Amino acid sequence: MKVVMFTNTFTPHVGGVCRSVQQFTQEFRALGHRVLIVAPEFEGAPADETGVVRIPALQHFNGSDFSVPVPIPGYLTTRLDQFQPDLVHSHHPFLLGGTALRVSARRDIPVVFTHHTQYEKYTHYVPGDSKTMQRFVVELAVGYCNLCDAVIAPGKTILERLREQGVTRPMVEIPTGVDVVRFRHGDGPAARKRLGIDEGSFVIGHVGRLAPEKGLECLANCVARFVQQFPDATFVVAGEGPSGKTVRGVFEKHGVSDRLKLLGNLPRNDLVDLYHAMDVFAFSSQSETQAMVITEAMAASVPIVAVDAAGVRDVVRDGENGRLVKSPLASPVAGALADDQVSERFLDALIQVHDAPHDRYRQWTAGAWQTAQRFSMEEMAARTIKLYEQVANSKRDGEHRHDAWSAAIRRIEEEWQIWSNVVDAAGHAIIGKDIHVF
């Protein structure tokens, strides 16, 4: 099968969507399928990429590490004519997501969409962020789902939420998998030695993009208070982003900056070793559809302390593979720990892991490894290919219009549906009603 993937984030950008696209692409190609990736230009991207088309883009949108693609009519036509895709897989409901729908319509091929992100938790990147904007992006995403042939939800919680929000298209739950064999084996002692961490130290770890929606200021406060109480503790953080300065500032304020190690983005092998150097993985984000770094940590047999939130609760089982901290309130800061009470619970959960008897701790590490095995990349890729085949067969069995006139009409209809979806989403957000385009 020949699949063209449209994504607004790709290497060298670091994030969950990029990793998902990379991992599925690698697995599909290993199975003999062909994949063409369409992504924006990013600073530092390789000059000679195989199977990737870069779209001109505005760099560092609104001070973030995101690039905003600027689709140019006809820019993709030659490459797609050469590739002749059987199916479109979209990874965003806007920007190149709109291009994905148009390519699907123009070429009369099915389109599958993966709902990677709770987009309403990311509106702080857009000027004029408000509750109205958050409602708008929810309606926009739901409308986009209903323009696709099938929708992939990375977790059960997100699938159920999409149904509640009004998605009517066929949906399946397929998380991004993890290379369990690769993450199973790492050299934790070597990583500690490189970082100057004593063998007997208690290491709290975190991996991910360092951004406001990840709740890192509150997480840093919890961990800084923890290391104040426990002289044997160190906090190691792998990743880059605007919240790195925030984390450092919190540790400086608490007078424990010497117990923090901000490592930036690590090569894959070093990252595996780092997971194995951890005693516990701490995660505070409430903006995930699937926290891939959690399953990676679990594949290294690291127990988790995380806030109970969508995406996270599908993986972390309280008392089985770590501690799941209840968060009854929504924070005004996207992705942050909800309140002081939750912060206290999170701190208490870290202390419980630190003080756990050996047998209890071993139960958590064994539970983490067992959980990770359910998320093997091979299994997730096989499930996705099965969905592709089902959608493609359904498309072939349906009514088709192959002549040039019908194709032109369909392009017009699809364009109209895309813009109608945007207008309807705006209407819901502003006045709670549908606005129809005549």
Instruction: Please tell me the total count of domains within the chain.
Output: 2
| Structural domain contains residue 186 | yes
404-414: per-residue pLDDT in tens? 434 443 544 45
Indicate if 305 and 369 belong to the same structural domain.
Answer: yes
Indicate if 97 and 150 belong to the same structural domain.
Answer: yes
Structure confidence at residue 63 (pLDDT): 52
Q: Which of 85-99, 108-122, 311-325 has the lowest mean pLDDT?
A: 108-122
Give the CATH number for residue 231. 3.40.50.2000
Indicate if 110 and 64 belong to the same structural domain.
Answer: yes
Indicate if 134 and 217 belong to the same structural domain.
Answer: no
| Structural domain contains residue 149 | yes
Structure confidence at residue 339 (pLDDT): 58
Indicate if 116 and 212 belong to the same structural domain.
Answer: no
Structure confidence at residue 134 (pLDDT): 65
Give 55's strand partners: 40
Q: Is 156 helix (H, G, I), strand (E, B) or coil?
A: helix
| Structural domain contains residue 96 | yes
Indicate if 225 and 330 belong to the same structural domain.
Answer: yes
| Structural domain contains residue 437 | no
| Structural domain contains residue 436 | no
> For residue 438, is pLDDT > 70?
no
Indicate if 201 and 125 belong to the same structural domain.
Answer: no
Indicate if 248 and 291 belong to the same structural domain.
Answer: yes
Indicate if 252 and 391 belong to the same structural domain.
Answer: no
235-250: per-residue pLDDT in tens? 999 999 889 999 999 9
In 64-159, the DSSP E strands lie at: 68-69, 87-90, 111-114, 150-153
Structure confidence at residue 404 (pLDDT): 40
Q: Is 37 helix (H, G, I), strand (E, B) or coil?
A: strand
**Which own/partner contact pairs does 337-341 have at CB distance under 8 Å and 24+ positions apart?**
337/215, 337/218, 337/219, 337/222, 337/284, 337/307, 338/286, 338/307
- Write down which residue in 373, 401, 419 finishes a domain: 373
Indicate if 116 and 206 belong to the same structural domain.
Answer: no
| Structural domain contains residue 106 | yes
Of residues 229 and 396, more confidence is placed in: 229
| Structural domain contains residue 207 | yes
Query: 87-90 and 2-6: which strand pairing?
Result: parallel
Structure confidence at residue 336 (pLDDT): 44
Instruction: Tell me how far apart the alpha carbons of residues 202 and 165 are, in angstroms, rounded to a whole number.
Output: 43
> For residue 85, is pLDDT > 80?
yes
Indicate if 172 and 184 belong to the same structural domain.
Answer: no
> For residue 403, is pLDDT > 50?
no
Indicate if 411 and 268 belong to the same structural domain.
Answer: no
Q: How many CB atoms lie within 10 A of CB 215?
A: 26
Mean pLDDT, residues 4-21: 86
* φ and ψ of 192, to 5 deg: -65, -40
* Full residue range of the structural domain in which residue 260 is found: 180-373
pTM: 0.76
> For residue 60, is pLDDT > 50?
yes
Closest CA to 236 of 244, 4, 187, 419: 244
Q: Which of 136-140, 386-390, 402-406 has the lowest mean pLDDT?
A: 402-406
Closest CA to 90 of 72, 73, 77, 109: 109
Q: Which tokens belong to 436? A: 């129809």
| Structural domain contains residue 438 | no
How far apart, in Å, are the Cα atoms of 26 and each of 278, 355, 381?
Answer: 28, 41, 10
- Write down which residue in 373, 405, 420 finishes a domain: 373
HSE-up of residue 16 (Cα within 13 Å, Cβ side)? 28
Structure confidence at residue 45 (pLDDT): 75
- Write down which residue in 373, 395, 420 finishes a domain: 373
Q: Which tokens belong to 296? A: 């990676």
For residues 113 and 148, the answer to whether their CB atoms sit within 8 Å is yes
